[in-house]
Amino acid sequence: MRWLTRWTERDDGLRWLWVSVLVIVLDQLSKYLATHSLELYQSVHVMPMFDLTLTYNAGAAFSFLSSASGWQRWFFIALALAVGTLIVVWLRRTPASERRAGLGLALILGGALGNVWDRIIHGRVIDFIDVYYAQWHWPVFNLADSAISLGAVLLVIDTILTGRNDK
């Protein structure tokens, strides 16, 4: 646990990398449980407006490019690794005092790497969270997607609040 103390005492945004690791672990654990306990496309009702439905996505968000011939797998892996590298550099340059930005970047990084792992190992991303209202369904997603979305929201909020403080 000494290594964790060393990372959390850093004076830059890299102190938040433990969040990225946590996101990856929880994402992969949830995907493992989903693939081993759900049948493909069979919905398991959990509560109103929420089901568990195992699906696979060879494309990006909202199944963008999912029907392409296979090149998209390598494109999305390369893109995520490039963006992940930029995020690590951004984190390194972010002061530890900018907690919202650091946390947001760490969530995005963890989510991106969780989905990259799927693409490398399975050739596609495992999705299983199905949110809907009546007959309108949001595209099925996973914990990595949730972390990316939450991280993006934190960055937007941070930008708005930082911009307001700069004035």
Give catalytic residues, as residue numbers: 127, 145
Q: Which residue has the tokens 């989903």?
A: 34
- Which strand ranges, in their side-by-side order, compose the sheet holding 43-47? 43-47, 50-57, 125-133, 136-137
How distant, in Å, are the alpha carbons of 1, 15, 100, 117 from that of 94?
24, 10, 10, 26
Q: Token digits for 59? A: 């494309």
CA dihedral angle for residue 32, residue 38, residue 43, residue 47, rounded to 10 degrees: -60
For residue 37, the tally of other CB atoms under 10 A from its CB is 11
Q: Token digits for 70? A: 């296979």
Which segments of the chain does DSSP mark as H helices, in order? 2-8, 17-37, 71-93, 99-122, 143-166
